[in-house]
Every structure is written in structure tokens, then in C-alpha cells.
Structure 1
Amino acid sequence: MKTRRIVSNFIKNKIIFFVFSMMFILGSCDKESNKNQSKTLIGKWSWIQSNGGFGGVTNTPQSTGDVITIEFVNNSVYRQYRNGILSIETTYELKNVEGHSELFIFYGNGHASIITLLDIDKLILTDYMCDGYVNTYRKK
């Protein structure tokens, strides 16, 4: 009887250790992925187009006459330039949101975006709001 209890406790301890190890490993992978995305995000991005809004329109630099550049700086500073003039400067934070697989950007001015696509030279941000836009950028 005592041997069974020892074996049972040993197995329980192994299972608990395994579960916590997996939680730690999976949590570390997620943080590492965020760090890699943060490194890729850093820099200046040129606006290519925006699709969406209430009317489902497509806007481009050619159709609006605006040249928009966004910049993510290493120290969590976000800047937006319109026609070469600084129009927005605020902070930003990358976060995972429960129930979503995409990474979110929360800006200090109260806005938020979803990183729909991020690779070396292309960034797609989706506004986190009803009738928001899907904004496409190219790395400078």
C-alpha cells in the first residue's frame, strides 16, 4: 500500500513538472516570436494603400496626393509623417490579445492595430475598430 502511494505521488509529480515545463516553453516561444517581430517592425515604412472604411474604398498616394511614412523606433516611439511633416508622435506597445493569434499594436493615443502581415519588406496593419482600414506599407 505504501509503495503504491509512493509510485502514485512520483507519477503525479512527474506530470505536474511536465505541465509546468510545457507552459514555460510555450510562453518563451511566444515572447521570442514577439521579439523577432519587434525587430522586423523597427524602421520606416512607406504607405502603399488603404482598403476599407464604411464605403469599402481604396486609397493610395496617387488617389489622395498624400505621401505617408510611419516609423517604429526601438524605444517604443511611433511617428507618422504626412508629406514629410510629422503629424503624429506617440508611444506604442506590442501585445498578444487573448482569443487572437495576431499581434496587436496599442498606441499611446488610444488607437490599436492588428499586425496582419509582417515580413522583411511588407507590413499590413488592420485598424482595430468597426469599418476600419487595412493599411499596406513597404519598408524604406
Structure 2
Amino acid sequence: MKKTILKISFIFLLLSLMGAGCEKDNPDYNPNSIIGKWEWLYTSGGFAGTVYPKEDEKVTWEFTEDSLFIRRVNNNISFQINFYSSNDTLFWRNDPTDMIYRFLIKSDTLELWDLSAIPPTFSHTFKRIN
């Protein structure tokens, strides 16, 4: 009987220690949300095929909770505008044309399809950096 209680106590202690070492999840983090900062990996489509950032260039797209889209090249803001989203579609007004993107998020990878062009021919791929 004592051995059984000792084994159960040891297992309980071990499980408690394992659980104490786990990081707490961020309650505000939604892996399916476009809100956050994304690093551009490549663009596919059109005549050029696949286009990658230059070796010395880091391009990020950031979507803030207050509906601001910020594009940065090497941490310098190159474009900024208000956006809105509905389900899986992103919109922003860029005179004279509205920009429309369909998006899909899988495992911290963002795929954007440019629906503004007719026919839609470009897709952009990003990875989440925060």
C-alpha cells in the first residue's frame, strides 16, 4: 500500500513540475488573425515567376489592431494606410483603385492573393514574426 501511495505521489509531483515549466499562452494571440507583423518571403505570379527580397532587404507588413497597415523596408516605413477586413478578405483604399486581397493563415504563414488585378495573378507569402 505504501509503495502504491509513493508511486502515485511521485507521478503527481512529476506532472506538477512539468506543468509549472510550461509557458502561459497569450490570451490576446489569435493564430488565425492577420493582426501582427509579417516578413515577406516571396511573391509568385505574373511574367517574373517568383520574386524574392534582395539579399540586403527585409520587407515587413504589419496590421495593427487599430486598422493600420504599415509596410516597412529595412525598418523604414515605405507605405501606410488604413485597412479593414471581412472574413478572409482585406481591403484598403489606394486612389484610384481599391486594393483587395484574399488571405489564408496556416502555421504562422500568411498567403495573400491580389484580387485587385484582373485576372488575379499574384500571390504573396509571409511568415509571422510577432
The one-letter code matched in structure 2 to 1:114 is R
User: Structure 2: how far apart are the matches of 1:91 and 1:44?
Assistant: 15
Q: Does 1:123 align with 2:116?
A: no
Unaligned runs of 5+ in 2: 1-29
1:91 pairs with one of 39, 63, 82: 82
Instruction: Look up the match of 2:8.
Output: none
Instruction: Look up the match of 2:91.
Output: 106
User: Structure 1: how far apart are the matches of 2:36 and 2:106?
Assistant: 12
1:132 pairs with one of 102, 121, 124: 121
User: Structure 1: how far apart are the matches of 2:53 and 2:89?
Assistant: 25
Of all paired residues, the percent bearing the same amino acid is: 26
User: Structure 2: how far apart are the matches of 1:111 and 1:66?
Assistant: 24
Q: Which has the higher helix share?
A: 1
User: Structure 2: how far apart are the matches of 1:86 and 1:62?
Assistant: 17
TM-score, structure 2 as length reference: 0.64
**Conserved? CA contact 1:52–1:133, under 8 Å:** yes
- TM-fit CA distance, 1:73: 0.1
Post-superposition Cα deviations, 1:18-48, rounded to whole Å, max 9, x if no partner, equal: xxxxxxxxxxxxxxxxxx67x6211100000
User: Structure 1: how far apart are the matches of 2:105 and 2:48?
Assistant: 23
RMSD over aligned Cα, in angstroms?
A: 2.1
Instruction: Look up the match of 2:38.
Output: 45
2:52 pairs with one of 60, 63, 73: 60
- TM-fit CA distance, 1:95: 2.0
TM-score, structure 1 as length reference: 0.60
Q: Number of aligned residue pairs: give it.
A: 95
- TM-fit CA distance, 1:119: 3.0
The one-letter code matched in structure 1 to 2:114 is D
- TM-fit CA distance, 1:125: 0.2
Unaligned runs of 5+ in 1: 1-35, 97-102
Post-superposition Cα deviations, 1:66-107, rounded to whole Å, max 9, x if no partner, equal: 3210000001111101222111110111125xxxxxx21001
User: Structure 1: how far apart are the matches of 2:113 and 2:62?
Assistant: 16
